[in-house]
A = this chain, B = another copy of it.
Amino acid sequence: MTQLAQPDLWAKAAQQQCATALAHPNIAFIKYWGNTNHQLRLPANPSLSMNMAGLHTVTRVEFDPALPADTLEINGVPATGPGLERVSAVLNLIRAEAGVAAPARVVSRSNFPVGSGIASSAAAFAALAVAGAAAAGLPPVEARLSRLARRGSGSASRSVPSGFCEWQPGDDDGSVAFSIAPPEHWALADLVAVVSREHKAVGSSGGHPLADTSSLQTARVAGAAERLRRCKEALLARDISAMGPVIEEDAVIMHGVMMSSRPPLFYWLPATMALIQATARWRAEGLEVYFTIDAGPNVHLICPAEQAADVEAKARKIAGVRDVLKSAPGGPAHLLAPGDEFLHP
């Protein structure tokens, strides 16, 4: 499915200047870390990810000339300050493109913990871009929506297309994500071993500018395209024993950059390390499971769907693991029909 598959919903949204969209977070197999342009969020290197079907953010955008300014509510709590400014910046791009002047009322809810290494901003800005564009009467052109999402949060560009998505560097119009395989291509499971629900001390947006202060970042960026090529080839061939070592290596390289930046970013916790060590043990026991870790302490355990129950049971026994969130590959960011939106609280 793409956004193009919902012509009636897009027409209705434009008519009512109101739309609700759902987007999944994504887990990067090849990581995004560092920009060539921070304001435009143009990434230093290409990246590759999988949308996470089990988790989502639902966002409603309603343009209303009666409002004095944009308003934002996240999980029932009114938001102001930097969070609202970041949303308004994306809405301003949409308004400029669509010729809309009205402020917007934005209401957003997620079914997963925000700010703990699960890409909450990716789902949030993908949903905002799609709902905002629809409510403003823009056409459902995936690349344009991916660009809008990227301007809010780089990795959000990858939550717009469906399934397994690649995001290439480029200029403002060209740096967009596209699907390389639909969700049904491969029954992979992502089991997020949650070791902390705390909000990160340094979020991704604050971290990206630090990437260039690490003496390892140039090497990380230089090797990313080749790792992406190997990862993509293995992914398209559904070969987890070829893909797994690449995603582990890529994750560790990103954290090597983070830990050696000035100031350093240490996202890992003791339970993170326990899970890294355990993954190799579980493989020795016959499971095809590999780890990856975003900008946070939680560990994403990637395995074939048929091994997910085994891996989940083992992960829950690791000291410090508070929960395990299970996701299959997820679809694209898309509009919800009025009424349907209440199915996704």
- Shortest C-beta distance, A230 to chain B (Å), equals 12
Q: Establish whether residues A253 and B219, one from each chain, have CB atoms under 8 Å apart when the complex forms.
A: no
CA of A262 to CA of B223 in the docked complex: distance in angstroms? 14
- Taking CB atoms, residues of chain B closer than 8 Å to A260 are 249, 252-253, 256
Query: How distant is A245 from chain B, measured CB to nearest CB, in Å?
Result: 7
**Which residues from chain B contact A264 at a C-beta distance below 8 Å?**
248-249, 252
A100 within 8 A of B: no
Is the pair A216, B253 in contact by a Cβ cutoff of 8 Å? yes
A268 proximity list for chain B (CB < 8 A): 273, 276
What separation, in Å, do the CA atoms of A301 and B201 have in the docked complex?
Answer: 24
When each residue 209-231 of chain A gets 1 if its CB lies under 8 Å from chain B and 0 otherwise, what string results? 00000011011101100000000
A260-304: which have CB < 8 Å to B? 260, 262, 264, 266, 268-274, 276-277, 280
Is A320 engaged at the interface, CB distance under 8 Å to the other chain?
Answer: yes
Q: How many copies does the complex hold?
A: 2
Chain B residues, Cβ within 8 Å of A255: 256
Interface residues in A, total, Cβ within 8 A = 32
**Is A181 in the interface zone, CB < 8 Å from B?**
no
Residue of B219, B245, B319 near A216 (CB, 8 A) is B219
Report the Cα distance A274→B271, complex, angstroms.
9
How many Å lie between the Cα of A307 and that of B264 in the bound state?
A: 24
Chain B residue at smallest Cβ distance from A263: B245
Bound Cα distance A268, B280 (Å): 13
Per the bound structure, the CA–CA distance linking A222 and B253 in Å amounts to: 17
Residues of B within 8 A of A276 (CB): 266, 268
Q: How far in angstroms is the closest Cβ of chain B from A58?
A: 35
Within the assembled complex, what's the spacing in Å between the Cα atoms of A268 and B276?
9
Residues of A within 8 A of B (CB): 215-216, 218-220, 222-223, 245, 248-249, 252-253, 255-257, 259-260, 262, 264, 266, 268-274, 276-277, 280, 319-320
Counting from the closest, the 8 A-B pairs by CB-CB distance are A256-B256, A270-B270, A219-B219, A252-B259, A215-B223, A273-B273, A270-B274, A270-B273
11 contacts between A and B (CB under 8 A): A215-B219, A216-B216, A216-B256, A256-B259, A256-B260, A266-B273, A266-B277, A266-B280, A268-B273, A269-B277, A270-B273
